[in-house]
Structure 1
Amino acid sequence: MKFQLDEPQGGNSISRHDGRNVWVNGTQHSASLLVPWRGEVQAWSLARFEDLTEAHFEQVLACKPELVIFGSGSRIRFAKPALYQSLIQARIGVETMDLAAACRTYNVLASEGRTVLAALLIESDGAA
Structure 2
Amino acid sequence: MVELRKDVEFTGPVITGFTPTGYKIGEQRYEQGLLISPEQAVGWTGSGLDQLNLAEILSSLNLSPKPEFLLLGSGPSMLQPPAAFRREVEAAGMGLEVMDSRAAARTWGVLRAEERWIVGAFLPLA
* Pairwise TM-score range, normalised by the shorter structure: 0.7 to 0.9
Q: Is the 8 A contact 2:19 2:31 kept in 1?
A: no
Q: Is the 8 A contact 1:66 1:115 kept in 2?
A: yes
Equivalent-residue separation in structure 1 for 2:42 and 2:6 (angstroms): 24
TM-score (norm 1): 0.78
C-alpha spacing 1:84/1:31, structure 2 compared with 1 (3 Å): same
Q: Equivalent residues in 2 for 1:63-82 (5 A)?
A: 63=63, 64-82=66-84
Correspondence 1:11 to 2:12: yes
Corresponding residue of 2:49: 49
Q: Is the 8 A contact 1:19 1:122 kept in 2?
A: no
TM-score (norm 2): 0.79
Task: Report how far residue 44 of structure 1 moved.
Answer: 2.4
Q: Unaligned regions of 5+ residues in structure 2, if any?
A: none
Corresponding residue of 1:26: 27
Aligned residues: 117
Q: Unaligned regions of 5+ residues in structure 1, if any?
A: none
Task: Report how far residue 7 of structure 1 moved.
Answer: 5.8
Equivalent-residue separation in structure 1 for 2:75 and 2:20 (angstroms): 8
Q: Is the 8 A contact 1:72 1:121 kept in 2?
A: yes
Equivalent-residue separation in structure 1 for 2:85 and 2:56 (angstroms): 12
What letter matches 1:68 in structure 2?
Answer: L
Task: Report how far residue 6 of structure 1 moved.
Answer: 3.5
Aligned sequence identity (%):
25
Task: Report how far residue 109 of structure 1 moved.
Answer: 0.2
C-alpha spacing 1:19/1:69, structure 2 compared with 1 (3 Å): farther
Q: Is the 8 A contact 1:34 1:44 kept in 2?
A: yes
